[in-house]
């Protein structure tokens, strides 16, 4: 299996301390513990008045306001039995009080508060108890977690300004081909826009990889030799597209080998993406040679490169979700095949995958608007509606 062959040859990325503001999308390499109880005190969670529940429970309806307790101030003390302290959301619950009546449930005349009818006053109503969310000693986040916005908030709540995350590998995304022309440049009939490199860079960035350069190399053995040699000296991961098939100008495998890259595999029994190449350099550099056809490039990137990078970064990721085919796929194939799909939901909210078959490996327009692709196993017959397949999201 190609995935296992790749993982077996990659070395885990080292951990490094990074400022929290630069950690979005990164993989945590430490467990994160609360620095203290969370919430750290009995916290008021409505604007209103704090009273003694026992007194209100006995039917007392009028309370005298003694003071105002704002968020960010040390706890005041409620003195009078029939007294109240005006409290703000986020404030400490005043000593002596154990219940918060929200301001919608009383009227105020001068300093006297009158509760409306049927106001309840159970102990700790509208109070979030100290330590009810988390306590020191119990980790809030585990190593291997990918940091999204909620997880970043958790790290900040633990008081950490810097946190241990996997070091980002440096990437070079390389498209090969004499026919390729940069967007923004004039183009002739015999030329093709260099779309793959943009798609690959975009997908890497979406998956949290920030150190991504790109280059375009013509189909010349000597130029490839020179430029790939330089990239191999400087980068951790090379992702090439094009030039890995059996054509006269497909020099990539030969040049990589001559540069000391150990070929792990060339060709995978799959469609699209059969020509895919993978090798490892003397410093452990990972080199992916993806087929140039745009559908194959993106599918191979998401199916193999991104998961391999996640494994290298020690990221915990969910396995691909199984999903049912929304409509049959008439033709079975002798190899595994990948089919772009849109996810749709029936009236009960059950998802299924609607095939959006490209007309060929070059038809990347068919990918726009899809959610990902499914992997179908080799099979002689058609894949019926309802057939369960693994879904890979873009
Ligand atoms: P190759 O794998 O080099 O034989 O390329 C296969 C097909 O993909 C050819 O039609 C190429 O023109 C096309 N192709 C290769 N690289 C790119 C690219 N970066 N962007 C768009 N199309 C490409
Ligand atoms: Mg080519």
At 203-244, the pLDDT tens digits run: 999 999 999 999 999 999 999 999 999 999 999 999 999 999
C-alpha to C-alpha distance for 19 and 26, rounded to whole angstroms: 11
362: confidence class by pLDDT, cuts 50, 70, 90 = confident
Neighbours of 351 (CB within 10 A): 14
C-alpha to C-alpha distance for 92 and 68, rounded to whole angstroms: 11
| Chain position carrying tokens 């375009």 | 216
- Ligand 1 centroid–CA 242 distance in Å is 5
Question: pLDDT per residue over 98-133, tens digit each?
Answer: 999 999 999 999 999 999 999 999 999 999 999 999
From the alpha carbon of 243, which atom of ligand 1 is closest? Answer: 3
- Dihedral sign, CA of 60, 64, 69, 70? positive
C-alpha to C-alpha distance for 153 and 43, rounded to whole angstroms: 19
Helix (H/G/I), strand (E/B), else coil: 122: coil
- CA nearest ligand 1 atom 3, residue: 242
Query: Are 357 and 374 within 8 A, CB to CB?
Result: no
CB-side neighbour CA atoms (13 Å) of 5: 17
Query: Are 245 and 275 within 8 A, CB to CB?
Result: yes
Query: Are 217 and 227 within 8 A, CB to CB?
Result: yes
Q: Which residues line ligand 1 (CB under 6 A)?
A: 175, 177, 179-180, 192, 194-197, 241-243, 245, 247, 291-294, 362
Q: Which of 306, 268, 300, 276 is nearest to 373 (CA)?
A: 300
Please give the model's pTM, rounded to 2 decimal places.
Answer: 0.90
């Amino acid at each position: 299996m190609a995935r296992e062959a790749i993982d077996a040859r990659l070395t885990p990325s080292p951990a490094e301390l990074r400022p929290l503001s630069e950690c979005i999308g990164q993989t945590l390499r430490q467990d994160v513990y609360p620095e203290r109880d969370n919430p750290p005190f009995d916290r008021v969670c409505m604007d209103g008045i704090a009273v003694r529940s026992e007194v209100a429970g006995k039917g007392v309806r009028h309370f005298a306001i003694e003071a105002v307790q704002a968020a960010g101030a040390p706890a005041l003390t409620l003195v009078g039995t029939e007294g109240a302290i005006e409290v703000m959301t986020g404030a400490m619950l005043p000593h002596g009080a154990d219940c918060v009546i929200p301001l919608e449930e009383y009227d105020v005349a001068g300093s006297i508060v009158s509760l409306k009818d049927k106001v309840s006053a159970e102990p700790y109503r509208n109070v979030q108890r100290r330590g009810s969310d988390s306590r020191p000693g119990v980790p809030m986040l585990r190593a291997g977690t990918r940091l999204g916005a909620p997880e970043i908030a958790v790290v900040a709540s633990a008081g950490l300004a810097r946190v241990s995350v996997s070091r980002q590998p440096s990437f070079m995304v390389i498209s090969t081909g004499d026919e390729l022309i940069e967007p923004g440049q004039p183009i002739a009939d015999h030329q093709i826009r260099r779309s793959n490199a943009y798609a690959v860079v975009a997908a890497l960035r979406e998956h949290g990889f920030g150190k991504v350069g790109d280059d375009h190399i013509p189909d010349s053995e000597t130029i490839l030799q020179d430029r790939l040699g330089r990239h191999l000296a400087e980068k951790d991961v090379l992702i090439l597209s094009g030039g890995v098939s059996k054509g006269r100008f497909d020099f990539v495998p030969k040049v990589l080998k001559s540069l000391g890259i150990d070929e792990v595999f060339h060709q995978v029994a799959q469609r699209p993406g059969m020509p895919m190449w993978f090798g490892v350099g003397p410093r452990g550099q990972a080199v992916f040679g993806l087929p140039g056809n745009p559908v194959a490039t993106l599918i191979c990137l998401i199916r193999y490169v991104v998961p391999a990078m996640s494994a290298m970064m020690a990221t915990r990721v969910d396995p691909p979700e199984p999903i049912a085919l929304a409509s049959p796929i008439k033709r079975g194939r002798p190899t595994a095949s990948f089919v772009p799909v849109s996810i749709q939901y029936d009236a009960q909210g059950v998802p299924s995958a609607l095939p959006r078959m490209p007309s060929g490996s070059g038809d990347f327009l068919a990918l726009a608007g899809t959610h990902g692709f499914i992997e179908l196993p080799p099979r002689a017959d058609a894949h019926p509606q309802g057939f369960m397949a693994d879904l890979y999201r873009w």
